[in-house]
Amino acid sequence: MSPRNFFYSHSYNLLYGVPTTLTGALGEWAYNEHLTFIGGLHNGWDVFDGPSDQIGFLAGARWRSCDERTSLQVLATTGKDPLAVPGGPPAPAGRDTQDAVSVIFSRQLGCRWQYVFEQISGWQDRGSFEPAGIGTADAEWYRFNQYLLYTINDCWRVGVRYEWFSADDGARVATFGGQYQAATLGLNYAPTENVTIRPEVRWDRFEPHEPATPPGPFGFAHRSQFLAALDVLVVF
């Protein structure tokens, strides 16, 4: 949910790397106070009723250190998913097994600093959107995110985020196969407990994998962009 995000904008990972919603059942088992195992079933990525009628699986674990300053979570999902990216072109015939593995590491550095590292790897059989292999060649994507957050006082926090996202086959960002970089600087100002103001500036850069790739994903004409944005959250 938006109040849990430090930044106003989202990463490529959230939009393209992993599913944002799964319909199914999820269970957790606390092995002890530091280690929890996770398992579940789902019916496809970002759909209520998957068209393949194949059950997908999700499994992983979450660990927290004794001092609660360090945490590590590993999750993996697998299943058959013939859908294209929502809002993108129709999926090529034959899209098949789709897998993803997510690793999130967080460390509290002193009383004011927090560091977070995220890594995603994904694969899809016959999921390529490249002209030479559409519907036949396999697709893969991988990325990493790094966050560094600093608490100035009870009202102000500042954070930076750097992301590198590789999707050379165009499977996730349809028709725009290549590598993406994004650097974001943001502030959080909370004058009261239920109000947060989040200004940020962000720079994105795209490098195509094939010369025939369209001009660029930003406005369908550019391979880089600079954004300035602000929003206000009111929780009630």
Q: Give per-residue pLDDT as tens, 50-84.
A: 666 778 899 999 999 999 899 999 999 988 765 44
pLDDT given at position 86: 45
Strands (E), 65-96: 70-80
pLDDT given at position 9: 92
Domains of the chain as residue ranges with CATH: 2-234 (2.40.160.40)
Cβ-Cβ contacts under 8 Å for 131 (sequence gap 6 or more): 210, 212
pLDDT given at position 51: 64
pLDDT given at position 141: 87
Residues in the chain, pLDDT under 50: 83-88, 93-94
Whether 13 contacts 120, CB under 8 Å: yes
pLDDT given at position 23: 87
pLDDT given at position 163: 94
Read off the pTM: 0.81
Q: Answer positive or negative: Cα dihedral of 14, 229, 188, 164.
A: positive
Cβ-Cβ contacts under 8 Å for 5 (sequence gap 6 or more): none
pLDDT given at position 69: 94
The secondary element (H helix, E strand) that includes residue 192 is strand 178-192
Q: Is 5 exposed, middle or buried (0-12, 13-18, 19+ CB in 10 A)?
A: middle
**81 to each of 19, 39, 43, 52, 74, how far by Cα in Å?**
11, 19, 9, 7, 21
